[in-house]
Amino acid sequence: MLPHELHPEQWVQHHADILFNYTVARVSDEEIAQDIVQDTFLAALKAIPNFKGEATERTWLFAILKRKIIDHYRKINSSKGKAEVRMQFSSEEDENKDWISLKATEEDKNAHEVMENEELGIAIQNCLSKLPQKQAQVFTMKTIEGLDTETICNELGLTPSNLWVIIHRARTGLADCLKQNWF
Residues spanned by the domain of 49: 8-76
Q: What global pTM score does this model have?
A: 0.45
Task: Return the CATH number at 101.
Answer: 1.10.10.10
Q: Are residue 61 and residue 118 in the same domain, yes or no?
A: no
Q: Are residue 27 and residue 91 in the same domain, yes or no?
A: no
Buried b (16+ CB within 10 A) or exposed e, 124-135: bbebbbebeeeb
Angle between helices 160-181 and 149-156 (to 10 degrees): 100
- At position 80, the amino acid (one-letter code) is K
Quote the CA–CA distance of 172 and 95 in Å, as a whole number: 13
Q: Are residue 100 and residue 171 in the same domain, yes or no?
A: yes
| φ, ψ of residue 88 in degrees (nearest 5) | -125, 115
pLDDT of residue 27: 84
Transcribe 34-58 into DSSP letters: HHHHHHHHHHHHHHGGG--SSS-HH
pLDDT of residue 117: 61
Q: Are residue 137 and residue 98 in the same domain, yes or no?
A: yes
Quote the CA–CA distance of 86 and 145 in Å, as a whole number: 14
CA proximity to 124, closest of 166, 163, 89, 176: 176
Quote the CA–CA distance of 176 and 41 in Å, as a whole number: 33
Q: Are residue 72 and residue 117 in the same domain, yes or no?
A: no
Q: Are residue 106 and residue 168 in the same domain, yes or no?
A: yes
Tens digits of pLDDT across the chain (183 residues): 456 788 889 999 999 999 998 888 888 888 999 999 999 999 999 988 888 888 888 888 988 998 888 888 877 765 444 444 444 444 444 444 444 444 444 444 444 455 456 667 777 888 888 899 999 888 888 887 778 888 889 888 999 889 889 988 988 888 888 888 765
Q: What burial class does residue 169 get, using C-beta atoms within 10 Å of its C-beta: 0-12 exposed, 13-18 middle, 19+ buried?
A: middle
Task: Return the CATH number at 36.
Answer: 1.10.1740.10
Q: Are residue 69 and residue 100 in the same domain, yes or no?
A: no
- Our count of domains for the chain comes to 2
3-class secondary-structure state, position 86: strand
Q: Among 76, 98, 127, which residue terminates a domain? A: 76
Domain assignment present for 1 = no
